[in-house]
Amino acid sequence: MRARPPRLRSLLFAVLWAVFAFGALGGHGLAQEIESFYRGKTITIVLYTTSGSIYDTYARLLARFLPAYIPGHPSVLIKYMPGAGGLLAARYLAEVAPSDGTTIGGLSPTLIFEPLLSANAANVDFLKFGWLGSIAESTGVYVSWKTSKVKTARDLFEHEMLIAGTGAAAETTITTRAIDGILGIKIKLVEGYAGSVAGLLALERGEVDGGYPTLEALHTLHPDWLRERTLNLLFQTRQVPDPEIADVPTVMTLAANEDQRKDLQFLFPRNAFGRPYATPPGVPAKRLKMLQDAFAAAVNDPALHAETTKLEIPVTLTGGDELAGTIKEKYATPANVIERVRKFIATE
C-alpha cells in the first residue's frame, strides 16, 4: 500500500485529535462553545526576544501548526516584546494582556525564577500563569572563540573571558553572575547588547571573546562555527549532558563541594525548560485545558518534527502540568540555598 503524503497524514492526525479533544472537553456543547469563541479571532504570541532569534524560530513553527488543533481555527500572530531580559513581555502577560485565551507568551525560563533571586524583582507571580508547556529542551553552552586563551572550562579559573550581556534580568546575566559566584570562575559581562543575536555578532566581531548561546541557536544561526570548530565548547549548563555534546563537561562537574552542587541544582532544574509558553492568569479552566492539549498536539505534529529536522533543532514536549510542577518545586527550594545564589547574582 502506498504511504500517505506527509500533509495528508498531518491532516488526518489533526482530525483524529479534534475528535478526541471534543470528547475530552465534556461533550458537543462545550466544543461548540469553544469553537464559536475562537472562530474569526486571532491568538497573539507575545515573545520576549527579537525577530531572528532561535526562540523566534520555534514561535513561528508554533504559529503555523497551533491553529489546526484549536476549535474555530483562529489565526496566530507573533508580537515581539524584547527588553529587560524578558521582563517587559512577562509584565504585559501578567498585567495587560486579556485573560480570555487569546494571548499566550513565550517567556524567558530564567526570568520565571527572578522573583526568588532579586530583592528588587518586578511584582510578577509566575505561579499564577496558565502553563501550556515547553516546545523544546534547551542546552545552554559557554563557548570561547578559537583564538581565546580560554580553551577549556578549567581555564576560566585562571583567565578572564568577556561575553556580551543583554540586561540585568537576562538569562545570560543572571546565569553568569551566579556561576561566577558559586564556582569562582572569571567570566565578565559586557552589558548593552540588544539580544542573543547581537551577542553572537559581538563575538564574531571580536568585541568579546566568549558567549553563552544555546546549542540550538548555534545550529540555526552559525552551523559553520560548530562544523569548522570555530568555537571551544567549554561547559554546558545541564545536570545531565546533552547527547549531542556528551564529551563537553556539564556545569555540575565543576562543583567542588556539596553547597556548590545544591546551588547549581537550584539554578538548573532536572528537566530543561527550553522554550516555555504560558497564558495570563485567570484564563477559564476549560479553555486553558483546551490550549494545553492543542499545544501538545502541535508540538507532537509529525510535520512540525519534519521541519525541525531540516533546521537541525530539537523539539521535545514538556507538558503544561509537568512544567507547572517543576516551577512549584523550585519555588520550594530551601531558603539558605536561595539566599546564597541571590547574593552571588547581586554582586557585580
Same-domain pairing of 263 and 277: no
Grid cell 489533526 in the structure block, residue: 14
Distance between CA 128 and CA 331 in Å, rounded?
13
The answer to whether position 346 is within a domain reads no
Grid cell in block for residue 230: 570555530
Beta bridge partners of 43: 76
Q: Which residues contact 244 (CB under 8 A, 6 or more apart)?
A: 139, 215
pLDDT tens, residue order, the chain (348 aa): 334 444 455 545 554 554 454 444 455 677 889 999 999 999 999 999 989 888 999 999 999 999 999 999 999 999 999 987 788 999 999 999 999 999 999 998 878 887 887 755 567 899 999 999 999 888 999 999 999 999 999 999 999 999 999 877 678 888 999 999 999 999 999 988 887 889 999 999 999 999 999 898 898 889 999 999 999 999 999 988 999 999 999 999 999 999 999 999 888 875 567 799 999 999 999 999 999 999 999 999 999 999 999 988 889 999 999 999 989 988 999 999 999 888 888 754
Same-domain pairing of 41 and 189: no
The answer to whether position 58 is within a domain reads yes
The answer to whether position 342 is within a domain reads no
Distance between CA 96 and CA 89 in Å, rounded?
10
Count of the separate structural domains present in the chain:
2
Same-domain pairing of 85 and 125: yes
What's the pLDDT score for residue 272?
A: 61
What's the pLDDT score for residue 4?
A: 42
- CATH code for position 71: 3.40.190.150
What's the pLDDT score for residue 111?
A: 84
User: The whole model's pTM is what?
Assistant: 0.74
What's the pLDDT score for residue 12?
A: 52
Same-domain pairing of 156 and 208: yes
Helix (H) / strand (E) element for 19: namely helix 6-24
Select from 226, 242, 270 the last residue of a domain: 270
Q: Which is nearest to 48 in space by CA: 101, 131, 94, 108?
A: 108
Tell me, rounded to whole angstroms, the distance of Cα 87 from its chain centroid.
14
Distance between CA 262 and CA 74 in Å, rounded?
45
Structure-derived torsion over alpha carbons of residues 245, 251, 252, 256, reported in degrees to the nearest 10: 140
What's the pLDDT score for residue 184?
A: 96
HSE at residue 278, side-chain half, CA atoms within 13 A, is 29
Instruction: List the Cα angle 81/104/126 in 5-degree steps.
Output: 85
The answer to whether position 88 is within a domain reads yes
Same-domain pairing of 133 and 148: no
Same-domain pairing of 159 and 207: yes
Same-domain pairing of 131 and 159: no
For residue 97, give Cα distances in angstroms to 57, 288, 319. Answer: 23, 15, 23
Same-domain pairing of 266 and 198: yes
The answer to whether position 1 is within a domain reads no
The answer to whether position 154 is within a domain reads yes
Q: Which residues contact 95 (CB under 8 A, 6 or more apart)?
A: none
Question: What is the side-by-side order of every strand in the sheet holding 161-164?
Answer: 187-190, 161-164, 210-211, 141-145, 231-236
Same-domain pairing of 117 and 159: no
Return the number of other C-beta atoms located less than 10 Å from residue 26's C-beta.
11
Same-domain pairing of 67 and 36: yes
Distance between CA 199 and CA 212 in Å, rounded?
9
Q: Which is nearest to 170 in space by CA: 199, 130, 133?
A: 199
Select from 220, 239, 270 the last residue of a domain: 270
Same-domain pairing of 48 and 87: yes
The answer to whether position 339 is within a domain reads no
Tell me, rounded to whole angstroms, the distance of Cα 335 from its chain centroid.
25
Same-domain pairing of 226 and 314: no
Grid cell in block for residue 53: 532569534
Select from 222, 250, 270 the last residue of a domain: 270
- In three-state secondary structure terms, 46 is strand
- CATH code for position 244: 3.40.190.10
Range of the structural domain that residue 93 is part of: 6-137+273-333
Distance between CA 38 and CA 42 in Å, rounded?
8
